[in-house]
Amino acid sequence: MALTNTQYDEIMHDYETLRTIKRRELSKRIQYVEQHVPGYLDLDQETSKRSAAFGRRLLSGEKLDRSELHRQLLEISEQKKSLLRKANLPENYLEMEYECPICKDTGYVDNEKCSCFKQKVIQRLYAQSNINKLAEEANFDLMSEDYYSGEDLDRFRGAVKTSKEFIKNFETLYPNLLFYGTVGTGKSFLSICIAKEILEMGHSVLYFSAASLFSLLQATSFDFKRSDELSTLLDDLYNTELLIIDDLGTEHVTNTSIPQLFTCINERLIRNRSTIITTNFSLDDIKSMYSERVSSRIASNYHLCKLTGRDIRIMKKVQNRK
C-alpha cells in the first residue's frame, strides 16, 4: 500500500501547520524582547542600516573591503547576545526553532524526502509501528535498576552500555543487536529507548512485533491484489534506517515466514541498515526454530545481549496492588 495522494497532502499540511506554529512562537519571542530588552531593537535596526549602506556604496562603484562590514556586523551581533544574556535569555532566543533542523520542517532536503518525512509515512502506513507513542513510556529517562540484582543487574548494565554504544555508532558502523533472555526483563524497553534516540538524531525507525510483521507479510504475499502493498512493505523493511522486530518467536511460524525472516535480515546486512531483534529464545532455539542460516547471520553480525531476572511486569503489578 503506497502512500495515497490524500495521505501525502495530509503530511504536507502537517508541515505547513507546524511552520505556522513556529513562526507564531518566534513572533511572540520577538515582541517580548522588544518590550523587555532595552536597546535590542535599536541594534537590530542598526544591522539593517549598515548592510544597506554598504550595499549602496558598492553599487555606486566604491571598492570596499567586505571584511570590514563583517567585522561591524559581528560586533553588533555580540552586543545583541550580551543584551539577551543580561535579560536571562539564551543567545539563540530569537532564532527560528524547528522540529526537524535537517529540513527546517519542510519535509525535503534538496528535492529529496527528509528522514522525518519518511518517518511520517511509516506512521501512516503501519499503524502498529507507533514508535513515538511507545517512546513516551520507554526511554532512558524512565530507566530503573530497581528490579535487578546480582548477575541480573550486571547483565542489565552491560545491555544499557551496549545500547548507548549502538546509538553512538549508528551513523558509522550500522550496528545490529539481539536482546534475548527471560520474559519481562527489559528487552523491548531497551529497544524502544534506542529507537527514541535514533529518531531524535533524524533517522527513520520501523517497529513491528514479530506477530504483526509476519501476519502482514502473509496477508500481502498471497493476494495479488495487494502486490503494490507488498512491494512497499518489503522496500520499507529492507531500507528503513532502523528496523525493530520485537518478540521474535511469538508469531505463527510457517514454511514461508522462515525464508522471509532470513531475507529481511540478509538484505538489511547487505544494505548497511541496522536491526534490533528481541526474543525470549536463545541462539540455539533460533537455530532450531528458524534454521541455521538465520542463526548464523545473527551470530556473525549482531551484538548479543542477554537479560535475565524476574518478570518486571509482574513485579510492577504486585507493587501497584499494595
Report how many helices (DSSP H) and strands (DSSP E) the chain contains, helices first: 13, 7
φ/ψ of residue 263, rounded to 5: -60, -40
Give the β-pairing of 112-113 and 108-109: antiparallel
Spatial contact of 19 and 89, defined as CB atoms under 8 Å apart: no
Cα separation, 182 vs 148, in Å, equals 13
Type and span of the H or E element at 46: helix 40-59
Question: Does the residue 145 lie in any domain?
Answer: yes
User: Do 254 and 148 lie in a common domain?
Assistant: yes
> How does pLDDT run across 125-172, given as a tens digit for each residue?
776 567 777 888 888 999 999 999 999 999 999 999 999 999 999 999
Expressed in angstroms, the distance from the first to the final Cα of the chain is 48
How many C-beta atoms surround the C-beta of residue 51 within 10 A? Answer: 13
pTM of the predicted protein model? 0.75
Cβ–Cβ under 8 Å, residues 128 and 211: no
Chain position carrying cell 520542517? 105
Q: How many CA atoms are closer than 13 Å to the CA of 33, on its beta-carbon side?
A: 27
pLDDT of res. 230: 84
Is 113 part of a structural domain of the chain? no
Count structural domains, the chain.
2
Q: In this predicted structure, what is the pLDDT of residue 1?
A: 46
Residue 266 and residue 174 in one domain: yes
Domain annotation covers residue 117? no
Residue type at 222? F
Domain final residue, candidates 34, 57, 86: 86
Tell me whether residue 159 is in a domain.
yes
Q: How far apart are CA 232 and CA 3, in angstroms?
A: 9
- Same structural domain, 145 and 261: yes
Q: Which of 209, 188, 11, 170 is nearest to 100 (CA)?
A: 11
The pLDDT of residue 287 is 95
What pLDDT is attached to residue 189? 94
Which residue, among 227, 195, 214, 295, has the nearest Cα to 257 in the 3D structure?
214
- How is residue 155 written as a grid cell? 547483565
Residue 190 belongs to some domain of the structure: yes
> On the CB side of 24, how many CA atoms lie within 13 Å of its CA?
6
Q: Mark the ranges of the chain whose per-residue pLDDT is less than 70.
A: 1-2, 127-129, 321-322
Three-class DSSP labels, 178-231: EEEECCCCCHHHHHHHHHHHHHHCCCCEEEEEHHHHHHHHHHHHCCHHHHHHHH
Q: Which domain holds residue 41?
A: 5-86
d(CA 212, CA 209): 5
* pLDDT reported for residue 21: 96
169 and 236 fall within a common domain:
yes
Question: What are the pLDDT digits (tens) for 274-303?
Answer: 999 999 999 999 999 999 999 999 999 999
Assess if residue 98 is contained within a domain. no
Same domain, 69 and 167: no
pLDDT score at 56: 87
Do 57 and 158 belong to one domain? no
Strand-strand pairing, 274-279 and 177-181: parallel
Provide the grid cell at 253.
Answer: 511460524
